[in-house]
Structure 1
Amino acid sequence: MNEDNAEQGVIRLLRAAAHTVGPGGRLPSVRTIMAELRVSPVTVQHAMRRLTAEGVIEVRASKGAFAATRRPTSEVPDLEWQSVALGAKPPGDESLRDLLTVPGPEMVPMSGGYLDPELQSVAALGAALGRAARRPEAWARGPVEGREELRAWFARQAGGAFRAGDMVVCPGGQAALSTAFRALTEPGDPVLVEAPTYLGAIATARSAGLRVVPVPADADGVRPDLLNAAFARTGAKVFYCQPLYANPHGAVLSRERRPEVLAVLAKHGAFLIEDDFARDLVIDGTPPPPLAADDIHGHVIYLRSLTKSAAPGLRVAAIGARGAAGARLRSARVMDDFFVAGPLQLAALEISVIASMAASPHLAAAGAEGPPRRAAHGVGGQTPPTPARHDPVGRHAGVGPPAGRRRRRRTDGSRRGPRRGRLRRPALVRGRPAGPAPAPDVRRRAARGVDRRRAPAGRRGRGRGDTSRIVNLRPTFPVVIPAHR
């Protein structure tokens, strides 16, 4: 009998004995268990420690082991007082919670922007983290801003606009966004966002007490004329934007609009938070450099994450700014959590996405898999787009159902499935617009019953209320479907 099986045998015996003798009853001694199961005393001790931690048994010095004594449970807990103490619900967005719900066994995740698990660098990450954990310096107190070499790498990725000293390492892009909003604004301030945009950014801004104002975007990115009007009308000082492969519609800020956007920022003395989350996940052609590379006077605050390009568990990102804005970001990070864990930073440095991004095997595989998967599932011109959408060039695509289809109120399982783990048919996460929606509501759909990797382009979902083509089921990029009203 191997040690794991032997320990499980001891655990089963002690659980059964605790149930038999009842609370406070004496359990078999270590010698008795050793003789009955033919296990070592170390195995018995390990099993007892686990059950003690679970609250199943109690070990009393010089007296032995006993079934845990349970507290009286006759009184029904009354937790209603908490609602009075806490007051009104803080601002936020339940869509983000729905978006981050871990999919059940019968769910096909289409609401996240991560690589297919088959394309993630899990093996390389595991090996790198193991090596990093064995380095003594990994467990020492590190700089609040992050390790110098990691910050230098992030600075280079911004196109030469920043130095290592301008960057601050954060535990993921969401944390970096939270830091930026708190450092650059005050509660009640307006903040501009391109519309539609990432739900996490909207939720983070609202949780910081900010008033979110949408600025419409089209196939060429945010519209500079409307951005100028929004700054003039609201007096906002911060604009959140994803110039490359914007989530959820996939647009890239065009070459012609880049200088126009920077000119608007200079005119109003405002900042642009550039969320460059998809820099490493190019599917078609060569992406333009970060907008920060064209910024001379410090209007662009650059955010770069490794989570999307490596694996969801690698919560490492960096945000950079120059001048007083950079000093505020560094001060805000100190108040959050001091610094990102050393082993994670060292692992991020070692894996291929840091050492040689262009030669990274898993990213090369993701780039090669993208076009075939997209074509196999009917994305890229086969499904009629809405007027504001376009053929996808990154990992996101905005497509619509055939013209004239009416939106159904709910797809079966759309609300119950993610929370109860009982999804049986196509499901969605309802997107809430940042303000008055200039375009149809964005809804994310998932479907089952079709081969996840090679779905025929013409297959349709069979779930009740489903009016959309199944455009991608195990995507390299998520697919966003705006539903007609």
Structure 2
Amino acid sequence: MYDGSSIEALVAILRGEVARLAPGDRLPSSRDLIARHGVGPVTVSRAIALLAAEGVVVTRPGSGTYVAARRARPADAEPDTSWQTVALAGRQFPAERPDEQAGAPAPGTIALSGGYLHESLQPTRLLGGALARAARRPDAWHRAPAAGLSTLRTIFARQTGGDVGPEDVLVTGGTQGALSMLFRALAAPGSPVLVESPTYPGALAAARSAGLQPVPVPMDEHGLRPDLLADAFAMTGARLLYCQPTFHNPTGSVLSPERRRQIVDVARAAGAFLVEDDFARHLGHGRPVPRPLVADDREGTVVHLTSLTKPASPSLRIGAVVARGPVMRRLLGMRRVDDFFIARPLQEAAVELLSTPTWDRHLRSLAGELRQRCLVLADALARELPDWSLLRVPEGGLHLWLRLPPGLTEAALVDAARTHRVAVDPGQHFFAAEPPAPHLRLGFAAAADPADLTEAAARLATAAGRAGTAGA
């Protein structure tokens, strides 16, 4: 038997032995290490492989494992990377967010931040079985087509609906990389891109990395406002709109049926592309989910994004872009430059996953779990923090969006929440311009248990009192 902890333990022991030996000295044989430490041969081989990859040891087949030569370097020497400041001048890239710089959360922290399911909600057994079956296929490790496996493209086309066919689908490694590719493909550096306000921070980062200038367009309780969208197109000359019509992140809103037609018409009249991020297609809470915008678009205005990552696992980096016309040819050209193709074993595993009836059962079970967690957190917040404004109880997605009361700042609350072992997402990161008010995004899917959500609300109430006192 072996596991990650036993490998790590053996690596630590071997590091200690290497530190006491001189370069060129031979380490004990694998047989000796197995007998001495009571581990299996696989554990020994993996531990030695890790040390060899780090350059700590050198393996010589048929001879043994030896301490590698140590590079001479003063113990107090600091690496000088100041030259990079000049080399990187003029190259803009999103900086690390302040909340990301805070480091790992303290033990016992309840996660109301982030955008992934807790492992208890992930179909890990289903994923493991799909990957095992995929690996047994004779062609599992062959090169995949640039556009993706035809079977997987057909599945995504069928899920999208309308007259979308497999030829309109490009398999991607999730949606974040696809967003970066789309922004580079659809607009020239320096161009404006219209976004909802608020919107997904990853989209803002991807747009800025592509050299685009995000321009916010306000929303109301029914989603993006078509009148202000038309004004924004007219004033900026933008040829690109990014939006999330279904279970919008962070607000959870769903674009009303009338507006779903209107914003496509407005974008088409402006000669613009509409990038529809449909990340939450499989995250409904039990009620019917509206058709994607692209299903009713025949002119190629809508470029559609979807993903399996959110309803399955952070490491199932499989998604799809649906596009028509010259833009698809451009995306295929970029694929051949960027990464050639998406790893075939992962695509084969996605085919296995989506082709089994247990996937649909997982989605139905997940819908019930998310609905319960959403209501638990909303009810707990209403009891503990009645002066916080919950803008809506969403019917899908993973988050609640709240406006903080006057006098309570995001920074003070986030710091106090961290002290009380609750991780939250400050609202300022979701705005392309100045936020109109302080907000928080609170997730209900990353906590280990629904009871943790009730405890988190109580901790936030204590943190809010402390933050308010500090602000006064």
Alpha-carbon deviation of 1:288?
1.3
Structure 1 residues 368 and 242, CA gap change in structure 2 (3 angstroms): same
Alpha-carbon deviation of 1:260?
1.4
Alignment correspondent of 1:363: 363
Whether contact under 8 Å (1:214, 1:434) holds in the other structure is yes
Whether contact under 8 Å (2:389, 2:403) holds in the other structure is no
> Of the candidates 329, 332, 335, which is equivalent to residue 333 of structure 1?
335
Letter in 1 for 2:464: D
Alignment correspondent of 1:314: 316
Residues 102-141 of structure 1, C-alpha deviations (whole Å, 9 max, x = no match): 7564332222222232111111111111221121212111
Letter in 1 for 2:400: A
Q: Does residue 157 of the first structure (1) align with residue 154 of the second (2)?
A: no
* % same residue: 38
* Alignment partners' CA distance in 2, 1:145 and 1:269: 26
* Alignment partners' CA distance in 1, 2:248 and 2:228: 18
Question: Where do 1:105-144 residues align within 5 Å?
Answer: 105-144=107-146
Alignment correspondent of 1:349: 351
Q: Does residue 440 of the first structure (1) align with residue 401 of the second (2)?
A: no
* Alignment partners' CA distance in 2, 1:288 and 1:468: 42
User: Match of 1:461, SS?
Assistant: helix
User: Match of 2:194, SS?
Assistant: strand
Alignment correspondent of 1:376: 376
Whether contact under 8 Å (1:461, 1:468) holds in the other structure is no
* Alignment partners' CA distance in 1, 2:91 and 2:17: 46
Residues 342-381 of structure 1, C-alpha deviations (whole Å, 9 max, x = no match): 0100100111x45448x62322221112332222223599
> Of the candidates 243, 256, 280, which is equivalent to residue 282 of structure 2?
280
Q: TM-score, normalised by structure 2?
A: 0.83
Whether contact under 8 Å (2:110, 2:421) holds in the other structure is no
Structure 1 residues 101 and 126, CA gap change in structure 2 (3 angstroms): farther
Structure 1 residues 386 and 409, CA gap change in structure 2 (3 angstroms): closer
User: Match of 1:176, SS?
Assistant: helix
Alignment correspondent of 2:80: 78
Structure 1 residues 24 and 436, CA gap change in structure 2 (3 angstroms): closer
Structure 1 residues 151 and 78, CA gap change in structure 2 (3 angstroms): same
Alpha-carbon deviation of 1:324?
1.4
Greater shift, 174-183 or 383-392, is seen at: 383-392
Alignment correspondent of 2:57: 57
* Alignment partners' CA distance in 2, 1:32 and 1:343: 34
> Of the candidates 393, 400, 407, which is equivalent to residue 395 of structure 2?
393
Residues 57-116 of structure 1, C-alpha deviations (whole Å, 9 max, x = no match): 345688765433311111543221222222256232534983998756433222222223
Alpha-carbon deviation of 1:409?
3.6
Alignment correspondent of 2:450: 453
Residues 197-256 of structure 1, C-alpha deviations (whole Å, 9 max, x = no match): 111111000000000001111111100000000000001111001110000000101012
Letter in 1 for 2:373: R
Alpha-carbon deviation of 1:394?
1.4
User: Match of 1:309, SS?
Assistant: coil
Question: Where do 1:202-351 residues align within 5 Å?
Answer: 202-351=204-353
Whether contact under 8 Å (1:374, 1:380) holds in the other structure is no
Question: Where do 1:165-180 residues align within 5 Å?
Answer: 165-180=167-182
* Alignment partners' CA distance in 2, 1:150 and 1:289: 20
User: Match of 1:397, SS?
Assistant: strand
Whether contact under 8 Å (2:285, 2:396) holds in the other structure is yes
Structure 1 residues 459 and 190, CA gap change in structure 2 (3 angstroms): closer
* Alignment partners' CA distance in 2, 1:381 and 1:10: 46
* Alignment partners' CA distance in 2, 1:78 and 1:299: 49
* Alignment partners' CA distance in 2, 1:141 and 1:37: 44
Letter in 1 for 2:403: G
Letter in 1 for 2:57: I
Alignment correspondent of 1:466: 464
Alignment correspondent of 1:23: 22
Letter in 1 for 2:137: R
* Alignment partners' CA distance in 1, 2:217 and 2:253: 14
* Alignment partners' CA distance in 2, 1:337 and 1:388: 42
Residues 13-34 of structure 1, C-alpha deviations (whole Å, 9 max, x = no match): 75554333x3226346649948
Alignment correspondent of 1:186: 188
Letter in 2 for 1:443: L
Greater shift, 289-298 or 313-322, is seen at: 289-298
Alpha-carbon deviation of 1:389?
2.7
Letter in 2 for 1:288: P
User: Match of 1:247, SS?
Assistant: coil
Letter in 2 for 1:163: G
Alpha-carbon deviation of 1:432?
2.8
Structure 1 residues 264 and 467, CA gap change in structure 2 (3 angstroms): farther
* Alignment partners' CA distance in 1, 2:267 and 2:6: 67
Alpha-carbon deviation of 1:287?
1.5
Whether contact under 8 Å (1:194, 1:214) holds in the other structure is yes
Alignment correspondent of 1:476: none
Letter in 1 for 2:127: L
* Alignment partners' CA distance in 2, 1:223 and 1:380: 31
Question: What RMSD over aligned residues (CA atoms) do the two structures have, in Å?
Answer: 4.0
Whether contact under 8 Å (2:390, 2:403) holds in the other structure is no
User: Match of 1:138, SS?
Assistant: coil
Structure 1 residues 388 and 435, CA gap change in structure 2 (3 angstroms): farther
Alpha-carbon deviation of 1:407?
2.1
Letter in 2 for 1:426: V
Structure 1 residues 60 and 250, CA gap change in structure 2 (3 angstroms): closer
Whether contact under 8 Å (1:385, 1:400) holds in the other structure is no
User: Match of 1:256, SS?
Assistant: helix
Structure 2 unaligned residues grouped into runs of 5+:
none
Alignment correspondent of 1:472: none
Structure 1 residues 250 and 468, CA gap change in structure 2 (3 angstroms): farther
Whether contact under 8 Å (1:108, 1:446) holds in the other structure is no
Whether contact under 8 Å (2:273, 2:303) holds in the other structure is yes
